[in-house]
């Protein structure tokens, strides 16, 4: 609960169309919270897309998609989640690519009371993953292999047997107990990180649910208040 989770991934080389490699955090239960990196494969020579999503209390539909400023199949790159009571930051090679800010003051729930596990998977999603499902998985190119190294987790460990409320208290700074992720400098992006995020959004974002008026005729509330 809270902290930072990172892993280095080298994605499927060549024809990865139809496949999704996922690195994500999730809690359990019907009202779960979830932070997703989903890497959408493509035909040989076409760029991977990275889809991020956030579920809060079981509700998702917050997809953003971006292309990367490097070829993620040629070498290992780090993908990270930084999570505290003020924000969730998605990072690629320590560059922020998405921020989800705590907006409870606007009546919006924020994921801060459910411990989460860390997961990864690779699966066939050729009904939607590549060019809207038009390009299917070519099984003659199997096996599809993503490689991992350098898994790091610096967070508050939550025993499964402990009630969620107790874990939330245990993993929050109070009195003498100070956790690094509660430091004021991590309550929001610094100026350099804010500029990095603006650069990513301007040059690499190809889809943002906040601007999809066909799906959301009324702009989602968090999009109205979000600074980024």
Catalytic site residues? 34, 38
Q: What is the rounded CA–CA span in Å between residue 163 and residue 7?
A: 28
- Secondary structure (H, E, C), 77-126: EEEEEEECCCEEEEEECCEEEEEEECCHHHCCCCCCCCCCEEEEEEEECC
- CA nearest neighbour of 79 among 15, 12, 21: 21
- Secondary structure (H, E, C), 34-48: EEEEEEECCCCCCCC
- CA nearest neighbour of 8 among 23, 18, 27: 23
Query: How is residue 155 written in tokens?
Result: 């967070």
Q: Is the Cβ–Cβ distance between 103 and 222 less than 8 Å?
A: yes
**What separation in angstroms does the CA of 187 have from each of 100, 101, 145, 170, 184?**
11, 9, 37, 19, 5
Pairing state between β 77-83 and 87-92: antiparallel
């Amino acid at each position: 609960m809270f902290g930072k989770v990172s892993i280095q991934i080298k994605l499927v080389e060549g024809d990865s169309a139809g496949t999704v490699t996922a690195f994500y955090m999730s809690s359990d239960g019907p009202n779960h919270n979830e932070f997703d990196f989903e890497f959408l494969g493509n035909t040989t020579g076409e760029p991977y897309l990275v889809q991020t999503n956030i579920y809060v209390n079981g509700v998702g539909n917050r997809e953003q998609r971006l292309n990367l400023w490097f070829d993620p199949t040629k070498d290992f790159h780090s993908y990270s989640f930084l999570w505290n009571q003020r924000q969730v930051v998605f990072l690629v090679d320590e560059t922020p690519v998405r921020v989800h800010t705590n907006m409870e003051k606007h009546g919006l729930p924020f994921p801060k009371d459910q411990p989460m596990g860390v997961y990864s998977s690779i699966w066939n999603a050729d009904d939607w993953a590549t060019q809207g499902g038009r390009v299917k998985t070519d099984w003659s190119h199997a096996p599809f292999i993503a490689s991992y190294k350098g898994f790091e987790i610096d967070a508050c460990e939550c025993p499964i047997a402990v009630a969620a409320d107790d874990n939330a208290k245990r993993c929050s700074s109070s009195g003498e107990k100070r956790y690094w992720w509660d430091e004021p400098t991590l309550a929001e992006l610094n100026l350099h990180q804010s500029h990095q995020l603006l650069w990513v959004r301007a040059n690499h974002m190809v889809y943002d649910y906040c601007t999809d008026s066909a799906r959301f005729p009324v702009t989602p509330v968090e999009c109205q208040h979000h600074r980024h």
